[in-house]
Amino acid sequence: MTWATKLRTSSRVPLLQAVKTSVATVLAWVVAGTLLPGQLPIFAAVAALLVVQPSVNQSFGKAIERTFGVVLGVLVATGISLLFGQNSWVVLLAIVVSIMMAWLLRLNPGSSNQIPISAMLVLALGAATPDYAFTRIIETIIGAVIALIVNLVIVPPVLLLPAHHAVARLAAGVASVLDQLAVALSTPMTNDQLMSLMHDSRSLRDLRDTADQRVTEGEESLTLNPRRSAHRDRLVAASQLLTRLTPLVTRVIGMSRALRDHYDEQLSSDPAAQAIATELTRAAHDLRLLIRPIDSVDIDLPTVTSEMPALTAPLVILKPNPEHWILLGSLMEDLRRVREEIVGE
């Protein structure tokens, strides 16, 4: 790993985000400089830079975090300056006091860092007086408010499509593993093929975690967003499908592990195993049908041959093979629960 890879990310910040940050910073500088002449509006510009976030809700949180940190930092700098004067070591004292205050108050990293930075800036500029402190607080509020307004006015982002993609990919992944389980029960498998099936099933955890993160980001993007009413139902559909898919991930991983641990070459000739394989194929078919209500999803899915659900009533095996009954019983129970999640029982 080179130094360049540590500095760069795999994807750029959206251009719209960069534009909004630039607009908010320029406006904050101009407005604060006009309303509060006499000092460069550094605090307003820094507030605008930090408060513009991918979502309105995040911006609101950053505005509170930034303002609170500045208020405490300015108060610390003013108090220490009045007590000890303008000596150079006072800056270090203010930084240490700010850090310990943040620790005592259990503040989050954003506010914790903002307190010593604000205190240091106030003392470094050499104007730690009550009037100056009050002006810097007002300046920070101006920058934060302008950043919030800019984030509201310039197309607030709605992160629905990434959530839809992630949930649909998870559903497609679960359906694919169900199909692989059906093939493994109906045709002879090598050990490498069983291990590959196990690997594919375990990879569903990563897809599930990604889907959960994307849905959370989608919900975050709609909070305090003026466009939320137009998109709320679509995100709810993705969230509800994710809720149904989450236990399915656990089920198919358990089924893959049971098949790997108890597999033998005679399994594919067992009529009960064939029946379970048929139901697994039907389950995969019906699971793909659940993806259809999530629109605007561009992923590769096998063709669904019927728009009607394929799952029948729960499978019943009256007399399992004594050599396979542990595996078949385990698969039967997991299949029952898979069916319940897919049909919504």
- Predicted local distance difference test score (pLDDT) of residue 205: 93
How do residues 185-200 score in pLDDT, each as one tens digit? 888 888 888 899 889 9
Comparing C-alpha atoms, which of 195, 294, 211, 275 is closest to residue 248?
211
How do residues 88-111 score in pLDDT, each as one tens digit? 788 888 888 888 888 888 887 777
Alpha-carbon Rg for the chain, nearest whole angstrom, is: 29
3-class SS of residue 263:
coil
Record the pTM: 0.64
CB neighbours of 125 closer than 8 A, spacing ≥ 6? 39
Structural tokens at position 339: 């069916």
Comparing C-alpha atoms, which of 334, 295, 288 is closest to residue 314?
334
Structural tokens at position 2: 């080179």
Structural tokens at position 162: 């990434």
- Predicted local distance difference test score (pLDDT) of residue 44: 87
Torsion-angle region of residue 38: left (phi > 0), alpha (psi -120 to 50) or beta? left
- Predicted local distance difference test score (pLDDT) of residue 47: 84
pLDDT band of residue 24 (cuts 50, 70, 90) is confident
Can you tell me the mean pLDDT for 1-7? 55
Q: Cα(238)–Cα(56) distance, rounded to whole angstroms?
A: 21
Comparing C-alpha atoms, which of 156, 344, 164, 173 is closest to residue 236?
164
Comparing C-alpha atoms, which of 68, 18, 25, 73 is closest to residue 47?
25
How do residues 164-183 score in pLDDT, each as one tens digit? 888 889 998 999 999 998 88
Q: Cα(254)–Cα(110) distance, rounded to whole angstroms?
A: 42
Domain boundaries along the sequence of the chain: 15-153, 161-343
pLDDT at 255 over 50: yes
- Predicted local distance difference test score (pLDDT) of residue 226: 62
CB 263 within 8 A of CB 187: no
Can you tell me the mean pLDDT for 67-87? 81
Q: Cα(176)–Cα(182) distance, rounded to whole angstroms?
A: 10
CB neighbours of 80 closer than 8 A, spacing ≥ 6? 90, 93, 94, 97, 119, 123, 128
Residue type, 117: I
Comparing C-alpha atoms, which of 186, 177, 190, 181 is closest to residue 267?
186
Structural tokens at position 249: 């991930």
Q: Cα(63)–Cα(335) distance, rounded to whole angstroms?
A: 50
